[in-house]
Amino acid sequence: MFLLLWTAVLLCEISADTGLSQKPTVVIPPLTAGQQSTLTCTAPGLCSGSAPDITWSWRGKRNNDSYITGNTTEFKTENVTAGTQRHTSALTFNPLAEHHSTSVTCKVSFRGDITTEETQTVNVSYVKEVQITGSRKVTEGETLSLNCSVESFPPSLITWAKMSESDLQEDTDTFTQDQRTGALSIYNVTAEDSGQYVCTATHLNKTHKMRNVTVTVIYIRKPQISGSTAVNEGDVLSLTCSAESFPPSVITWTKLSSNTTLNNGTGSATLVIPNVTAEHSGQYICTANHLNTTLTERVTVTLTWITEIQTGSVCELQSDVLTCWCVSEGFPLPTFKWPLLEDHTQYSVVTSVSKQTVNSTVTVRNHGNTAVECVASNENREVKANLTIQTKLPEADAGPQRGVLPWIVAGVSLTVNVLCIICIWSLWNTRKKVKPNQEDRVYMSIQKAETSEYEVITPYQT
């Protein structure tokens, strides 16, 4: 227990009618933490004799006596009238926030063990450090909840503000310090809610305390792919995949139906393939791995290519009809141009397609050319070739020879058959004029059994 005691060893006569019901007069000016102040205690009544004893005592918030460091006391005597005096004690100290709501007692003791005292509550204006509680990290879609508090007397006004790039924006919310706490709540937060927030404590119309806190929103956006997906054969394929997120995502490039990682990076990754060929066409997959979330984006790479005029492209001349075939492959499918048709009005062009192969056939009469040029092109480039002209025996000249041969064979066969018939008929007539021998008659008899001429068969007698 701390007692501030000082005693003026003076005698003060006090009459009974003065009334010890009177109490000392204690004056406490407005107190501000950290600023030196003086409390005064004046003894009741006017003394014409010795001065009374005046003591100070201090009781803390928990009803325990406390000690105030750095205090000084001063006793003053004021002559009011001839023979009467007023006695005052002054206590000077530096008030602190801990002194707020404590009690100070001034006790006056007169001769004859007569005492009187006065107790008052001390109010100290003060403001302490701003305290911010609550999670600074929140997942997108959840609720951000922060509490800003400051211990002060009288209560401070707490305001929340979000820091922009150049200055403070409008207050997000404003709270009075009724419960010494200011709650900031943002529902369904988005990435735009990330940033620096400022809690400000305004005390007695003065901004005394400010504290910043950085809020981060955990989020991820759909991966975005940039770069040309249509490239020419031999060029460089360059595609960049990025995913806006916090914390940064891990980006990985793969090709469909392949588990091979082509490239990866944090936040973004660039896929580079130099000197692309037809095999590099297809679907590529960008995968963004973010904490427990995986997002993918696909892109189809198309290669623009064309081959040279292929072997087998040729021209065939038959009579006055020229037929040419020209073959090429590519993507997009190549188109053909025949410069020789510029000087002709009668011709035919037939185009056939099989997968990426295109065959163009042109037929023209009376061409009068010694060389034929075929031109194929697509978005990639243009290819040309001079086709060889091969001469073929026309079908119109070969046709009559093939028609005469069957008639010759038929004529020879008919002549042989007629001659054979004449020979057989002549031999038959000759044999009928010769008398037959026994064997002949038997043979003839057998052959003529049904005729009357040979009804009886007898042996020939000599």
Summarize the annotated binding site as residue ranges.
454
Binding residue ranges for Mg(2+)? 454
Which contiguous run of DSSP H or E holds residue 415? helix 395-432
Which contiguous run of DSSP H or E holds residue 321? strand 321-331
What distances in angstroms separate CA 159 from CA 144, 204, 211, one per listed residue? 16, 14, 11
Residue 78 CB: number of other CB atoms within 10 A?
A: 11
CA distance 44 to 28: 17
Residues paired with residue 357 on neighbouring β-strands, in sequence order:
329, 354
Residues paired with residue 374 on neighbouring β-strands, in sequence order:
385
Residue 321 CB: number of other CB atoms within 10 A?
A: 14
Residue 171 CB: number of other CB atoms within 10 A?
A: 12
Residues paired with residue 301 on neighbouring β-strands, in sequence order:
282
Phi and psi at 300, nearest 5°, equal -100, 125
DSSP-assigned letters across all residues of 114-171: EEEEEEEEE-EEEE---EEES-SEEETTS-EEEEEE--EESPPEEEEEEE-SSSEEEE
Identity (one letter) of the amino acid at 332?
A: P
Spell out a b/e string for 417-430, using b for 16 or more CB atoms within 10 Å of the CB, else e. Answer: eeeeeeeeeeeeee
Question: Which of 344, 342, 307, 305 has its CA nearest to residue 326?
Answer: 307
Angle at 418 between CA 413 and CA 423, to 5 degrees: 125
What distances in angstroms separate CA 37 from CA 43, 92, 95, 163, 203, one per listed residue? 20, 6, 7, 39, 20
